[in-house]
Structure 1
Amino acid sequence: MEAQTVEKFDGTAIYFPLMNGRYEVKPGMEAFGCDLGNGQADKQVFQIDECFADYRQAKLLARGERLSKYYQTCNYTQAVGGAIARLIIERLIQEHPQHFDLHQTANTWQFHSYLTQETLYLNADLELQQVSTLGSPVFPAYASTLDALAAQLQEDLTVICRSADGSNWLSAVHLCYPNHWSAEEKIGRDFAAIHAPVAGMEKINRRAEAIVNTMIARKPTVRFAWGLSTDTRLNHHPEPPPNVSASQWQGRKFDLQSPRLYLRIERQVIWGLPEYDTALFTIRTYFRDCSVVKQDSVLRSKLYAAVESMSAESLIYKGLAESRDSILQWFR
C-alpha cells in the first residue's frame, strides 16, 4: 500500500530540508513552531491532512500483521505513560478541535476522534479502559493508551527516558512507518546504541548525553531527515511481511529505463517533559515526487549536489550505493 505524494493535495505541508545542497548527519534542531513556509501546520506537533485515511490504513495493516513488530515498551512507567498521553491529547485538542473532542469527569476521560469515530475511555491515570466505535473494532484490540492514541495520528511515536544516574533508554516506540529500522531491535537501548548503525554518527554519539539532555530539558524543537525511495510505501520494516519477497519489499531499486524516485522526508518533533525526565519524539513521513522536484532547476541542483556529496558509507546506509550513478544521470 503506497501513500500519496505531497504534490497531489493542496494544503499538505511541504518541506525540502536539503537547501544547502549537502547530505549531512547532524542534530539540526530548530525551535518548534518556526515558520518553514507552511503556516499553521508548522506550529502543530501533529499534522492532519487529506491523506489521513491512507496513513490510518497503513497503521491498521501493520498492527494486524503482528503488533509486537511495530509497538514495544521497556520500563515505561505509569507516570510517564500518563504524562505522554496527556501531552498528546492536549495538543490534539488544541491543534485540531474540529477533529477531536474531550470530556472529563472526576474519574474518567472520554477522548473522541471524529476521523476514526472511536472514543477512548481512560481512567484518572489515563490508562485505557475501553473503546467504543461506530465502525468495525480494530484488530488486534488496542493494547494501551499509547497504542490507541497512535492509531489516531499520522505520526509515529517514540519516547526516551532518563534515570537518576543519567543513563537513558528508548522506553516506548510505536513505529508503523519504519524506514528500514525495527522497534523490536531498538527498544530499551540508549541513544548512542540506537544510532550506532547510522553512517557519520560518530561525533554526535560522543555527545549523546548532552543531546538527550537537550531533548528532555530544553524547549520543544523540530528537525528533519531525508532519503530516497523508489516507492511511496510508508512501511519499510527490515523484515518483509509474510508472502512478500525481500527484493520486492526493499524499495530502493532505481530503474533508469522506468524511473520512479521519491524524496522520503521525516519531520521530527521533540517535546521534553523534564519533570518526568522524558521526551516525546514524533516522526511524520512525507513523500515528494522527484520527477516534479527536478522540474525546478534550483531544487534539482540542490538534490543532485546532496546525493553527489554522500560518502560511500552513507550511500550504503541509505541503500543507494548501486543506484547513485543512475540517479545522478537521471537528474542530469
Structure 2
Amino acid sequence: MVIRRPIAKPIFLDNLLLEAQTVEAFNGEVSYFPLMNGRYEVKPGMMPFGSCLGNNEADGQVFQIDENFKHYRQMKLLARAERLSKYYQTSNYSQAVAGAVACLIINRLTQEHPQYFDCQKSTANTYKFHSYLTQETLYLDADWQLQQVETQNNLAVPVYASILDALAAQIQEDLTVICRSQDGSNWLSAVHLCYPNHWSAEAKIGQDFAAIHAPVAGMEKINRRADAIVNTMIDREPMVRFAWGLSTDTRLNHHPKAPPQLSVSQWHGRSFDSQHPRLYLRIERQVIWGLPKHEAALFTIRTYFRDCSVIKKDSMLRSKLYTAIESMTPESLVYKGLVESKASILQWLADD
C-alpha cells in the first residue's frame, strides 16, 4: 500500500474528554426520542429502514451527516492515535466480505450525499473515492481494497490499516460486521468502535450474537432466539432500530478502559450531581443492512445526545422519560450505571 504525503505530526491525546454538541444546539438537527411508550424495554425493535420518523430524507439515509461532523472526525482520529487495536478489530474477515462492505458504504455515501462524496471507476476496474469533508482520496483496487491515500491535510496517525478503517474515518457512525458460516453459526468479524458506550471492540471480536449481548440485562429471551435474529439481519431487507441510555456528559468515547494519561474517575462518567445537574439521553440509531450473497450484515451505530434539561420543559417528553426510568429493573439499573442516581434523577425531573 502506498501512502502519499510527508510524515504527519503526531496527534496529541489531551482532547479525549471533549464533548459533542447536543441535538438541541443546531436548528433542523435530526432528532429521535425512542421511548415514546414510556417504558424501558430490551427488545429487537427492528423496523423497516426508511420508516418515517419525522426527519424527512435523513430517515432514509444510512449515514447521517450534520454540523457535528468535525468533532466526530476529531474524536475518531484521537481514538485511533491512542491505540488503533483498542478500537478496531477483525476476526476471520474475508477479503470478499470486506470488499462487499466497502462497496456498500461507498455506494450509500455517494447516493445519499453527492455534495460530500464522489467515486470514479477507471477502465482497469479500480476506484477513486474522494471526501470533500476530509479532503482525503482513497484509491481502491478491483476488489475494493485500499491501495493508496492522498490528502491535503496531515495523514491520519497511524495510517489507515484497511479500507474499513479508512471509510470509518469519513463518517459519523461506528461500524460492525457480523458473519454467518455454513453451519449457521455466527461471529463478529469486524468492529470499528471509536464511540463505545462502555463496551470494548477487543472484548467482543470473534464472539457470536448471544455471547456479545450476554452482559445486557434483560437479554435472556432475545438471546434464546439469537440465531434467528442474525438470520433476519442477513437475509431480510434493511432495518433500523434504536437504543438509549442516560449520560452525565456528551463525550462520544466511553471505552471501559481509560486512556493511560487519564484517571478512571475522570474517564468513567455517569455521576449525576443534583446541585449542578447535567443529564443527557444518549441515543443510538442502528442500521442493519444484510449482504446475503456474502453471508454477512453491516451494522452501523450513530450516536446522538439530547439535553434532558430541554426535554424536561416539555411535559409529555418529561413524563415519558420519568416513567421509562422508573420502569427499569434492578438489573437494568446496574447495567446502565444508575443504581445510585435513579432517585435523584427522578426528583430532578419532577421538580419544576
Structure 1 residue aligned with 2:288: 270
Deviations 1:104-130, CA, capped at 9 Å, x for gaps: 112320000000000000000111111
The RMSD of aligned alpha carbons is 0.5
* SS of residue in 1 equivalent to 2:127: strand
1:143 aligns with 2:161: yes
Distance 2:213 2:74 in 1: 29
When structure 1 is superposed on structure 2, of 8-17 and 194-203 the one drifting more is: 8-17
Q: 1:84 aligns with which of 101, 106, 122?
A: 101
**Are the aligned partners of 1:100 and 1:113 in contact in 2 as well (CA < 8 Å)?**
yes
CA contact (8 A) 1:170 1:186 kept: yes
Taking the aligned partners of 2:261 and 2:144, their CA distance within structure 1 comes to 38
SS in 2 for 1:282: strand
1:251 Cα deviation after fit: 1.5
Counterpart in the other structure of 1:99: 116
Where 1:116 maps in the other structure, the secondary structure is coil
**Aligned equivalent of 1:50:** 67
CA distance in 2 between counterparts of 1:121 and 1:243 reads 36
Q: Deviations over 1:18-52 (max 9, x none)?
A: 00000000000000001000000000000001110
Q: Distance in 2 between matches of 1:144 and 1:112?
A: 16
* Alpha-carbon separation, structure 2, partners of 1:110 and 1:10: 34
- Whole-angstrom CA distance in 2 between matches of 1:289 and 1:248: 21
Q: Which residue matches 2:34?
A: 17
Q: Report what 1:112 is aligned to.
A: 130
- Residue of 235, 247, 266 corresponding to 1:217: 235
Contact kept, 8 Å, 1:220 with 1:270, in 2: the verdict is yes
2:304 to 276, 286, 291: 286
Is the counterpart of residue 327 in structure 1 residue 340 in structure 2? Answer: no
Match of 1:173 in 2: 191
Match of 2:88 in 1: 71
**Structure 1: runs of 5+ lacking an equivalent:** none
Distance 1:38 1:241 in 2: 36
Equivalent in 247, 250, 257 of residue 239 of structure 1: 257
- Spell out the pairing of 1:249-268 with structure 2 (5 A cutoff): 249-268=267-286
> 2:161 aligned with 1:163, yes or no?
no
Identity, % of aligned pairs?
77
Structure 1 contact 31–220 (Cα < 8 Å) conserved: yes
Distance in 1 (alpha carbons) for counterparts of 2:277 and 2:309: 9
Residues 190-243 of structure 1, C-alpha deviation per residue, up to 9 Å, x if partnerless?
000000000000000000000000000000000000000000000000001112
What letter matches 2:289 in structure 1? Answer: W
Counterpart code for 2:272: F
Separation in structure 1 between the aligned mates of residue 171 and residue 150 of structure 2, nearest angstrom: 18
Match of 2:5 in 1: none
Kindly provide the CA deviation profile for residues 294-321 of structure 1, in whole angstroms up to 9, marking residues without a partner as x. 0000000000000000000000000001
Give the TM-score taking structure 1 as reference length: 1.00
Q: How much has 1:248 moved relative to structure 2?
A: 1.5
SS in 2 for 1:281: strand
1:229–1:251: 8 Å Cα contact kept in structure 2? yes
CA distance in 1, matches of 2:51, 2:246: 26
* Structure 1: distance between partners of 2:306 and 2:133: 25
Moved more, 241-250 or 220-229: 241-250
- TM-score between the two structures when normalised by the length of structure 2: 0.94
For the Cα contact (< 8 Å) 1:11–1:49, is it kept in 2? no
Please say if 1:61 is aligned against 2:78: yes
Letter in 1 for 2:225: R
Among 222, 230, 237, the residue aligned to 2:248: 230
- Once residues 285 and 309 of structure 1 are traced to their aligned partners in structure 2, the CA distance between those partners, rounded to angstroms, is 23
Q: Secondary structure at the match of 2:191?
A: strand
Q: Which amino acid aligns with 1:15?
A: Y
CA distance in 2, matches of 1:237, 1:273: 29
Structure 1 residue runs of 4 or more that deviate by more than 3 Å after TM superposition: none
Counterpart for residue 23 of structure 2: 6
CA distance in 2, matches of 1:246, 1:30: 38
Task: Tell me the equivalent position of 1:126.
Answer: 144
1:41 is matched with which residue? Answer: 58
Q: Deviations over 1:58-94 (max 9, x none)?
A: 0000000000000000000000000000000000000
- Aligned partner of 1:204 in structure 2 is 222
Distance apart, 1:11 and its partner CA:
2.6
In structure 2, distance between residues paired with 1:250 and 1:329: 23
Deviation at 1:284, TM superposition (A): 0.1
The separation in 2 between residues aligned to 1:256 and 1:7, in whole angstroms, is 22
Which moves more between the two structures, 74-83 or 241-250?
A: 241-250
Structure 2 gaps, min length 5: 1-17
Amino acid at match of 1:164: Q
